[in-house]
Structure 1
């Protein structure tokens, strides 16, 4: 196999994660691959806890009263829900199964946020029964909740009214200005059956200014609703806090140099097809920057507006809480030589690396772990693309010809870094009757030999 120069192919090195070092160096990754006989995900819950603490510190540093709900859809693993419960924060759910799972792993009912459009009646009934906060997406949904609350007569239903963003008028989420006006009237008419706690929104993208502008608008709506006699003291800004998978130079160089010939079968991607794998501010820093942003036509920062209005800010982060909280490991089971590169086949599918199924590419470079560690010394650059063990031409984990430091061989492992957020199980399916990769929780990563256990997901 011909060795190519480093500069001939774009790379995208992942930001280092010290917790991965003992998993690989101790031989644990190789042992788990052997034990499970297929791909697996490993989870690093300490990273979740650190990210959560950083967000809480950002809220406190800005003097803002806030509450975090982990967006469970980002990863189905039970351990992250357990960490949320231990940390005294909430969980954002959008199905009856997710709600039951959260309750079963220790999250209090009043710490649940129920989102999603056109919610199932069973989900609404459970939400009202357990005093979860419900983000109302439509007038007919509000009517259902009022009816449930009036029928039950146990406790008031807690609701937020979801606003349609003016900047995204074609969004399928939220209510228009006229619908919000009608919703406020219906909340008033419902009396003690409804506790209208405030407003929420779903905003696509990661830009901070539009999020600050819309939050400021909802602060005004809260003040208006209070004048009508409603509580209106909370605003949920959803998720959308970016994270960085790589450094700025690597990201911008990659975008500037990547071309179809760098991919198997000359697959063409536009720069807009990729998730923004680098952000100037990310995670808790992005939250701090958001709170320091001045909404349009105001002299105050967002934090100042929220404090002055006595608003509790609600967050629903998913990816940002899962940054560096896990990785995915495949075993190479086939190697083919192509013209100037190799085509690898691994023992799983790209359904376990979900970005591919959005017609995109998960770009952070995978780590090659040789079965024979004597080959671990870098000797050159050996390009290879990575395909899956299915009968589909399109089932590619990595179309890009990754420049590995030594030739990949059958039995070697590929470790895809930082996959906990939306990559592990958003699209997984037992295609060809292949089992879904198990999730392994890594505990005590400060030990020479990390401990592990299977995740306790109920469903």
Structure 2
């Protein structure tokens, strides 16, 4: 199919480690053994990303802790690494808290976030000495009551409503915060108020630094009133850089409805910012530099907590589908794979996962006359829904796919693998396969759970 029908290319950044895995035959062996789509996990990348964030804190001379936002990926592999390395975990449900504790994460290394937490969650969190980000006044009352009922002090942060996002459903406004501080002071031994936190949408490091600086001042005021108040949490919001600037700018400039199956249209605002000039640990470095935040934290003796999810999973995994069929239709191809868009969760946001998939031809397939010609195709799931499109755009593939070939979507560990998974049509959920290094460039694989 003519590549002129295709959307502009958007290749992921080169990844030699993943390329070596994809070319050693293992993906085809796993596809045969597992009988369906699967996810590959690279825990060493998770370790490296976590260490890079800690290095930024050390370079700035700022005391702090990194918490992995567990909602970004359900795999046990990441929590196992958190337990080993002493990395914290950010949870928002009783199931997530139990999972973290069950994999060896210490209770005091867990922060519990989310709105209107269930009483059972609060009880376990208090008993385990976890840090609780309190989102509302009634929740604070329930925390205090829970602490008194189990005779254990509750560790809390007061979650503030960002003035720049006054319509957010998260956090306490100024009046509520004042009331909360009064209740913290009168709670006595039932509660230790350790500081403040916030949830801020977007990836602007300056805006994040501005509000963090405000929270430092709030800590000093609360400390003067007898509360501990020696730490703040700035949440997540550290972008991941999936592709280079030139390809990203070209894609946004040139993409149009004709590049998508059925003329579907997207605007630039519909997409995650797949290129970010300041991403991951560099974004934390930018936050600490803005408004002299690092110096202010040191001067005030306030620790910085952060809760990245996607950024700790950068290049830590990919998703593999097997081609089941190919048809030529209306100037482009339609490739059907052995799974569904529910296993690539950007569709959950009415968007499109844009890093281009990589075609891995089956090692035993017969040569085709068009096998060396580029081919433009969208990718559909193996369900009866018109809307089940893994890839709406007509992506440029190196050749016309054939049944048995594989399509590999790179860098999907952050939010893509399981945020929206469902065994629709009784299709099994794609298993997660962990690749463990055993030295000398060799790896072994195991199922995640």
The TM-score range, normalised by the shorter chain, is over 0.9
Shift of 1:448: 5.5
Shift of 1:356: 1.2
1:199-278 matched pairs, under 5 angstroms: 199-278=196-275
- Change in 2 beyond 3 A, CA 1:329/1:73: same
* Aligned mate of 1:194, from 169, 177, 191: 191
Map of 1:409 onto structure 2: 402
Map of 1:352 onto structure 2: 343
Contact 2:73 2:417 survives alignment (8 Å) = yes
Map of 1:442 onto structure 2: 435
Shift of 1:454: 0.6
- Change in 2 beyond 3 A, CA 1:373/1:54: farther
Map of 2:120 onto structure 1: 122
Contact 1:331 1:413 survives alignment (8 Å) = yes
> What CA distance in whole angstroms lies between the structure 2 residues aligned with 1:393 and 1:445?
44
1:70-89 matched pairs, under 5 angstroms: 70-89=68-87
Q: Which runs of 5+ in 1 are unaligned?
A: 295-300
> What CA distance in whole angstroms lies between the structure 1 residues aligned with 2:147 and 2:332?
63
Contact 1:442 1:452 survives alignment (8 Å) = yes
Shift of 1:281: 1.0
1:292 aligned to 2:292?
Answer: no
* Aligned mate of 2:105, from 107, 113, 136: 107
Deviations 1:237-276 (A, max 9, x none): 0000001000111111110010100111111001100000
> What CA distance in whole angstroms lies between the structure 1 residues aligned with 2:231 and 2:446?
38
* Aligned mate of 1:12, from 10, 13, 20: 10
Contact 1:26 1:448 survives alignment (8 Å) = no
Map of 2:280 onto structure 1: 283
> What CA distance in whole angstroms lies between the structure 2 residues aligned with 1:54 and 1:103?
24
> What CA distance in whole angstroms lies between the structure 2 residues aligned with 1:346 and 1:448?
31
> What CA distance in whole angstroms lies between the structure 2 residues aligned with 1:222 and 1:365?
46
> What CA distance in whole angstroms lies between the structure 1 residues aligned with 2:310 and 2:18?
19
Cα RMSD of the aligned pairs, angstroms, is: 1.6
Shift of 1:378: 8.1
Contact 1:109 1:132 survives alignment (8 Å) = yes
Shift of 1:89: 1.5
Map of 1:329 onto structure 2: 320
Map of 1:297 onto structure 2: none
Shift of 1:445: 7.6
Q: TM-score, length-normalised on structure 1?
A: 0.95
1:45 aligned to 2:43?
Answer: yes
Q: TM-score, length-normalised on structure 2?
A: 0.97
> What CA distance in whole angstroms lies between the structure 1 residues aligned with 2:217 and 2:253?
43
Map of 1:426 onto structure 2: 419
Contact 2:319 2:412 survives alignment (8 Å) = yes
> What CA distance in whole angstroms lies between the structure 1 residues aligned with 2:341 and 2:149?
47
Q: Say which SS state the counterpart of residue 442 (structure 1) adopts.
A: strand
Contact 1:327 1:418 survives alignment (8 Å) = yes
Q: Which moved more, 1:139-148 or 1:440-449?
A: 440-449
* Aligned mate of 1:365, from 338, 356, 359: 356
Q: Say which SS state the counterpart of residue 383 (structure 1) adopts.
A: strand
> What CA distance in whole angstroms lies between the structure 1 residues aligned with 2:148 and 2:267?
53
Shift of 1:357: 2.0
- Change in 2 beyond 3 A, CA 1:446/1:332: farther
Contact 1:5 1:381 survives alignment (8 Å) = no
